Each structure stands twice: as structure tokens, then as C-alpha cells.
Structure 1
């Protein structure tokens, strides 16, 4: 007889499902919090992950993956073959965790979460077959964010190691990095870190476009906005042929005097003021 799963956080339910899964684990119609928790668990999990097949509404996936921290970590799991993401055309009655051995309905009540579990053989077989077929028939969800591993590796190779270290420090200080125009999205973060290390705009924007973060035009527009807000400044650097290039500089003493770990919070307060 399967035991129901109880916990204060969805992570407790997911961890139990991941640890007990043998083969495929279908995560069906999850909440945004469940998707975020699944990606975080998969990234930090010690041991061999099951083949996780995420089937969620496209609108929810787009919203969750608008956070660079979540999307870039999910891309790591996809590249490793540990995660597949597909779009659910129509919602189901419950959020489900489905394996070949049991089916778990995820239920939240206030600040508690439960996994109502059955291992009835006939029901579990039917559920597994049903969602296997629905997953196979669903459209793949295309992540447009590069994996965080590739971002970290290439920024060190193409810019320098200090910029990579500062980039990591800024990301680790953030809870989200959403591209909604109001907070610190990945382009803003990259430009601030580049300015902290006196990197040329041409170099950082070319790297950003090549790795898949954003186009050079997006980097240029964001640079202009940050200049207008007084967060960064530029100086012209002559080159042998063509127009001078621009070296990025932090434009405010509050930023110039801060460590990378506090760069994001100081910049965010300046943007909000």
C-alpha cells in the first residue's frame, strides 16, 4: 500500500518522487512553483536522475522560463538528457506525478502540500500509458535560453575569468532574473558586470549574441537605458580602422564602491528610485 506524502514545501514531494522513480517520471500540469522547484531539485540532485518528462501549459512555461535563472538551469538539464519539456494543450483535473509504479496527485492546502498516492496496479498502468501517449503527442517546448554551464564557460573564455566570477556572484545573489523590463534581466546583469570590469561593449554584446542571451541591438538598447539612469558610463577607445569602440564603466559611486555580491541590490534600488 502506497503512503501519502506530506510536507511544508513542494520540494519535499518532488524529492520523494524523484528518489523513488525507476525510469520515467511524468510531471503533469504543475504550478509555476512546482516547475521552479523541479528545476532547482534537478540541478542540485546528487545521484542519477530519472528521465523527467514535464508536461505543462505553454503560457505557464513561458512565464516561468522568463526567469533567466530558471530557464538557464532547465537548459542544462535538457542538454544533459535529464529533462524533456512539452506543452499541455488542455489542463487535467489535478497536478500529477506519474511513474510506472505509482500515481501521485499534488494537493496544496494553505502552507501545506500533500501527495495523495496510489499504487493500484490497474490504475497506475492506465495513468502511465495515458500520459505517455499525451506526452508523445504534445509539441516540444523550445527553450530560447542558453544553458548556464555554457554561459559560464564561454564568458570566461571570451571575456575573462574575473568577469565570469563577478557574473556568478551577481546571479547567486538574486532570487529571480526576469526579463520583464522592470527588474534586472540577464542583459542588464551582463552589462553591469561588464562595466564593473571595464569590458568593451562590442566584446560583451558579441559574446551575448553568440551564446544566445540576446541580440547586439538588445544589448545596445539596454546600455542606453542604463546610461540614462546613470548606472553605467562609456569611454571611447580608438581602434586602427573604423569608429572608436566603447568601454563600459560603472557610472555611479554607489556602484563603483560595491562588491559583486551587492551589485544587483544596489542597482535595483537605483532603478526603482
Structure 2
């Protein structure tokens, strides 16, 4: 039996997650489909089945450049709820394979049209073939730290207000990518500056959690200073060179909510 599907991508995955406790195999997702699967899995409140994804390496590399999606993906991997593999051959169709059905997906913008089949012979053939491809695929290594670990360590090591500001900014943004704008390192520095945190403390935290190296934090701090967004002041210590306390160049920005502050600062870049 075949049924035509036509609905939002997230709704498709919610339905699939609710209907099985067995592993789900997702083959050749588009970038938007991969993002929808990760976001839906991250927000799913019931017991989540294991999600196994076979994707083109370029699709996974693009996903890894998006901090929000990559950190949520890392969280799912850390929970043993998701695994990623790449294959040399890229399949023509995007398919979801379950124990009792296959769903072939065709994407139009943010909607999915697809054909769902529960024909026993077809499902068995497809599952055997694609599970073999899964077993032969190469594991994709994600270097982004899990978002839950980022938030927990930020609260424990730097302070709850900094974590709250950081999380507020993250949830207000569609994506955070590296480049000339405000990436995750720049945002960490700016919410630290909003709370008068030492550069040493926030950069050590960032390196320890796997967000970026101390050198990256230092280079980003210099770039933000050159843009007239960030400032520092020297703080004497008992032994060694003074450390730098981060400050916003325009201290009136601290009166704004964290997400509005970041939005205003981005406009200055």
C-alpha cells in the first residue's frame, strides 16, 4: 500500500519517531531535511529511537559549519541517539527506511511530498540493501561540542548569568556560522564582556569545552576591538602579567536584553 505525504518536514519526523522504537535509517537527506531531522529529534520529548543517517560528505560538512545544528547533532550523538556515516555513492532519492515501511521524500521549499510504502517485499529488499551500505559507510567525525555540555560548563565555570545570556542569544538566531560576522566565539566574548568576565577565563573555558582554541579567542577579541565593539581593561594579579577584563566599548549596551544587544552590535559590523 502506498500513501502520498504532503506536510512540513518536522511533522514527518515527529510522526516517525512516535511510531517506532526501532532504529530509523535516513538515506541521502538534503541540507534542509537533515536540519529538520536534527532539530525535531533534539526537541522530541518522548523516548527517541536511534536515528542512523547516511549522507553525502559535503552535506555533513556544511551542517558542521553551522554551530547551532552541529552542537545539537553532537548532543544526539553523545546520547547515542544519532550516528552519521558517509558513502562514496550518493543515492538519487532521499529515503527514510523503517522496519515496516519506506518513505521516499521529494522536497519543495520547506514542505515534503513523498511516497510511503509498506509492501513487505519492497521494504525488506530496500532495508537489506541500505543497511549493507550503512555498515560499509565511513563514520563522520563531528568536532563541535554538545550544546548541553557547552551550557552546563559555561554556567559552572563562568557563571549562570553568562550562560543565560549565551542561551538567549542562541535561541534568537537562525544560525551561527564562522566568518566575518558574529560567530559562536564572538558571541561568547560579547556576553562575557556584558558581564565583565576576564578574557583568560572565557578563553580557557572555550578551549576546554572544545569550542575554539585560546588563540582563536584572542584573534576574535582583537577583531572586535578593531571594529570598536569590544574593549578591555588590565586587572593586576599577584604573580605574572595583568589579565584583561572584557568590556563593551559602548557600556550602555549592557542595559539591553542580550539578544537585542547582539542584534545592535551586528548592525555595527
TM above 0.5: yes
Corresponding residue for residue 66 of structure 1: 65
Q: Determine which of 185, 188, 203 is the counterpart of 1:187.
A: 185
Corresponding residue for residue 34 of structure 1: 33
**CA distance in 1: counterparts of 2:132 and 2:51, whole angstroms:** 15
Per-residue deviation at 1:253?
A: 4.8
Instruction: Report how many residues are paired.
Output: 269
Corresponding residue for residue 237 of structure 2: 239
Q: Is the 8 A contact 2:9 2:110 kept in 1?
A: no
Corresponding residue for residue 4 of structure 1: 4
Structure 1 residues 18 and 2: alpha-carbon distance in aligned structure 2, compared to 1, 3 A threshold? farther
Per-residue deviation at 1:2?
A: 4.3
Structure 1 runs (4+) greater than 6 angstroms displaced: none
Q: Secondary structure at the match of 1:4?
A: strand
Per-residue deviation at 1:83?
A: 0.5
Matches within 5 A, 1:60-209: 60-109=59-108, 112-179=111-178, 181-209=179-207
Matched, 1:268 2:266: yes
Per-residue deviation at 1:256?
A: 3.4
Q: What are the Cα deviations for residues 86-124 of structure 1, in whole angstroms up to 9, with x where unaligned?
A: 113221120000111111110124664212111111110
Q: What are the Cα deviations for residues 164-200 of structure 1, in whole angstroms up to 9, with x where unaligned?
A: 1111111111110111x13221101100110000000
* Higher mean C-alpha displacement, 212-221 vs 262-271: 262-271
Unaligned runs of 5+ in 2: none
Q: Is the 8 A contact 1:102 1:124 kept in 2?
A: yes
**CA distance in 2: counterparts of 1:57 and 1:168, whole angstroms:** 31
Q: What are the Cα deviations for residues 30-56 of structure 1, in whole angstroms up to 9, with x where unaligned?
A: 011111111110111121111100111
Q: Is the 8 A contact 1:254 1:266 kept in 2?
A: no
Per-residue deviation at 1:20?
A: 2.4
**TM-score, normalised to structure 1's length?**
0.94
Q: Is the 8 A contact 2:2 2:116 kept in 1?
A: yes
Q: Is the 8 A contact 1:30 1:56 kept in 2?
A: yes
Unaligned runs of 5+ in 1: none
Corresponding residue for residue 256 of structure 2: 258
Q: Is the 8 A contact 1:29 1:55 kept in 2?
A: yes
Per-residue deviation at 1:27?
A: 0.8
Q: What are the Cα deviations for residues 201-242 of structure 1, in whole angstroms up to 9, with x where unaligned?
A: 000000000000000000000000000001110000011111
Q: Is the 8 A contact 2:231 2:249 kept in 1?
A: yes
